[in-house]
Chains A and B, each alone.
Chain A
Amino acid sequence: MVNSLSVYQQAVMLMAALITLTSFLMLGQSRLLRLVGVFAVQGLLLSASTALVAYSMALPHLYISAALSLVIKGLLIPAMLFRLIMRMNLHREMDTVEHPARVIIGGASLVVFSYYVCLPIVKLSTLITLNTISVSLAVVLLGMLLMITRRHAVAQVVGFMSIENGLFFAAVVSTLGMPMVVELGIAFDVLVAAVIFGVFFFQIRSSIDSLDVDRLSQLSEVEE
């Protein structure tokens, strides 16, 4: 039971739970600015939990990844998205979720599903924080669900980034972080992706006059 863990491990559990919560909040959030805000909170939580793992397992190199994710995912990318939304005058736009109840129910069953999938791994391992691996899988799946259910390109980018958050969290809790080089590479990749997305937004906006990705089908040459 949870009582037998140290306070730091309990805190990691708590972080895992809160990260899931942020994923759910993103799923139900229809305002783009708030969506980005919640995404920033997720980044902060991710960085905090990395720091916690670093402290409880005494792994100093994880502090660096904690700092990286704080700067990139907690501040830089949200700030970029924020500026983008302001510049493109999207902050009043709503990306309404169709059937929010169904989406949320689907999300909850995804959590149960990822728990079910991860059960064999958890049973085999001795690492106590491994229970959280199902949570990180859930975050990945919820990110995908977010991308599927949304029309707006910004929301899709946020979904994509949160998938990456989930993977990162899995790496931190299950293998205690990846090699430094890989981590730096990924962090850089994400940043580059964000920049490219920014450019991409302007492109699709100028070509289809909207950021609604459903309209991209207009570009198809097949006559309907």
Chain B
Amino acid sequence: MTPPRPGDTPRIDEADARPLLVDDTSRDASPLLRLLLGLLAGATAVGIGLVGVVGGDRPALLPLLVADHLEESGVSNPVTAVLLNFRGYDTLLEIAVLLAAMAAVWSLDRGSRQFGRPSGEPEAQPVLEALIRVAVPVALVTSVYLTWVGSTEPGGAFQAGALLAGGGVLLTVSGLVRPPTAASATVRAFVAGGVAGFVLAGLVLLPITGAFLAYPEGWAYPMIVAIEVLLTLSIAVVLVELFVDVPAVPDPDPSLDALDSSGDPLGRALAAAEREDRP
């Protein structure tokens, strides 16, 4: 592994990260510390268990409140009503957290990876491909059903998006579909579409009902379904992209390293622009 120079952020080589997959107990806590931490963990378990089991039997107000206002929410599943109507703002922020995680992962620049069959390998992956043949269509149909049925039965955007992402990860990791990349505008549109659509809906409603994300009379159900569809697609793309993305920019050209010490394309472009500006 080449030692890093000050100021450069080299693209990591997948082989360098191999130690992460090999168990190594050399840095674990000593037996004494282990015992103390075991006692601490045991005390935590006892504490949480006691509070949960014996803790105050105050009557909870929220379930009754939700049940009282369920008809106004536009859906008959109380969880979906809470997620997309009563606590819609929380859901918006959760989707924004997904977007933030995506931005952080994209900035990590984990390096190029090969998925699926390495070129030149004659044998296929029969078990994986048979699993994909069965699992991916089922995942696709079930996720569409889950998005739709979330208004009456347990279901909704998050479950459907996660299921769709599972199918997507199967497809990309096996090499049958090219993995998504941040360079693709479609991928970026889907990743940002969840937050953007949700915020746009709220802003559009602001002059109509006077409050951000307050659904007008009778419009709650169609708006919830529309937002759920948008969220399902966005969550699915974000989850797949979080785990199987490939870098957006090609590896930096090593011949240019002689001119400047920055290893990333943006740094090179900035250095080149600076050189042009200098008289």
A, B from the same assembly: no
